[in-house]
Amino acid sequence: MRIGELATRTGVSVRSLRYYEQQRLLTSRRSAGGQRHFTEHDVERVGSIQRMFAAGLSSRTIADLLPCVDSPGEETADAAAARMLRERDRLTEHIAELVRTRDSLDELIAVNRAYRTALETAAR
């Protein structure tokens, strides 16, 4: 299938598919005219890539994990598990940072509300 059909079937833009190929997350065969051709397997692969991006993984991390998806084995499984645990720890820290930021914003909102209430009370 050509890149447009892969885009349609996966709901991913042609531009994103080209990016995946550039990052070596996806490969294609080229026709004599230079058109990209993909297989049914690539439909599933794009879905896997999308799920990894949605989980907050970078294209570099995804590229490190894909060999484990392609050829599961003891050696690749251990490397993948270690990498996924590092990514999980990174995401956990990022979530904690976001919570701290939200809590700071909540404090500012409370100060703002109190100030506005004081202004309204003084105006009466």
pLDDT score, position 111: 97
- Does pTM top 0.85 for this prediction? no
Has residue 77 been placed in a domain?
A: no
What's the rounded mean pLDDT across residues 32-53? Answer: 93
What's the rounded mean pLDDT across residues 36-40? Answer: 94
Has residue 75 been placed in a domain?
A: no
Q: Which domain holds residue 123?
A: 84-124
The half-sphere exposure of 56 on its side-chain side, counting CA atoms within 13 A, is 11
> In terms of domains, do 23 and 58 share one?
yes
Of 70, 97, 112, which residue constitutes the final position of a domain?
A: 70
> In terms of domains, do 59 and 101 share one?
no
CA distances from 111 to 73, 98, 106, 120, 122 (A): 56, 20, 9, 14, 16
Give the Cα separation of 98 and 93 in Å (integer).
Answer: 9
pLDDT score, position 83: 84
pLDDT score, position 123: 85
What's the rounded mean pLDDT across residues 40-47? Answer: 95
Cβ(18)–Cβ(29) below 8 Å: no
> In terms of domains, do 64 and 95 share one?
no
What's the rounded mean pLDDT across residues 83-94? Answer: 89
Report the CATH number at residue 27: 1.10.1660.10
CA distances from 56 to 1, 50, 75, 105 (A): 29, 10, 24, 24
Give the Cα separation of 11 and 45 in Å (integer).
Answer: 13
Q: Above 90 in pLDDT, residue 65? A: no
Q: What is the dihedral of CA 4, 42, 27, 38, to 10 degrees?
A: -50
> In terms of domains, do 88 and 65 share one?
no
> In terms of domains, do 53 and 23 share one?
yes
